[in-house]
Structure 1
Amino acid sequence: MTSKRPSLPVRSAPAARSGFLWHDFTMRFSSTPRGARLARRLTGERIDAWGVPYGSERHDALTLIVAELSSNAVRHGQVPGRDFRLRLSAAGTAVRVEVTDTRGEDLQIPAEAGSTDEEGGRGLLLVAAVADHWGWHPRADGPGKTVWAVLDVSL
């Protein structure tokens, strides 16, 4: 006598999404180049899981934004012994990136646009070029600032 095995459900390719329900990811990273690299890599994995596939233009733009903002937090907002915080949130068709540093003294305000003749300082120009909106505000829960950027991923 043979038993009949139940058939496994067939998985189809995911349908194209018109928008996110709602996603949120927050993590603290060490204020080191390694922490900034880890923030970028985890962002890539997280947004791929949310439906923004690796290799797409929007995926690359989001990881670039995180890389630049994290690098700035390490370079300009670093305080020994304090971490920076990355927050990703997605609602509708937009993903918001927030990077918060802890430097309260000598608050360095992000420039609207840097000179392209300088050796460094083009990170925020790149963010402004790929993000739909960006800005900054003083940190609400302690010393420091939060730099944010929003990108519509439906395009």
Structure 2
Amino acid sequence: MLAIEQLRAWGLPLEAPAQIIAELATNAVTHGRVAGRDFRLALTVTPGTLLIEVTDARGDRVPQIRDAGRGLVLVEELADRWGVREGPAPCKVVWAEVSFAAASRAAEIRRART
């Protein structure tokens, strides 16, 4: 995945961000798809934080943690913060923030569970 290669090139932790990106991208394809329109992924790094933003064409379908499936439960677990905001009409942006310390901590927790 190109996003993972970008994170690797930036020298950032991979495990938690990769899972968040996969879940948000999958949700965009599954629930935010409009024929002829793709989703957009943006990664922004600020000191100590990675912002992941996925924009899709279905602003009328706002995801909620109680929706069927466990994707957003996983995002809730791995991200420090996440949410949804309006994008350029008719889009929405689902975003998640991961602090670099939190990404390392999540990887350690998963390794300890296995």
TM bracket, shorter-chain basis: 0.7 to 0.9
Higher RCO (Cα < 8 Å, 6 or more apart): 2
RMSD of aligned alpha carbons: 1.3
Partner of 2:79: 131
What is the percentage of aligned positions where both structures have the same residue? 44
Amino acid at match of 2:92: K
Amino acid at match of 2:3: T
Partner of 1:147: 94
Work out the CA distance in 1 between the residues paired with 2:50 and 2:91.
23
Partner of 1:60: 15
Q: Which has the higher helix share?
A: 2
Structure 1 stretches of at least 4 aligned residues deviating more than 6 Å after TM superposition: none
Unaligned runs of 5+ in 2: 105-114
From 31, 34, 51, give the equivalent of 1:96. 51
**Partner SS, residue 14 of structure 2:** helix
Relative to the length of structure 1, the TM-score reads 0.62
Deviations 1:17-71 (A, max 9, x none): xxxxxxxxxxxxxxxxxxxxxxxx111100111112xxxxx41100100000000
Q: Map 1:112-127; keep pairs closer than 5 Å.
A: 112-114=65-67, 120-127=68-75
Q: Which of the two has higher C-alpha Rg?
A: 1
Unaligned runs of 5+ in 1: 1-40, 53-57, 115-119
Relative to the length of structure 2, the TM-score reads 0.83
Partner of 1:15: none
Tell whether 2:30 aligns with 1:75.
yes
Give the aligned length: 102
**Partner SS, residue 25 of structure 2:** helix
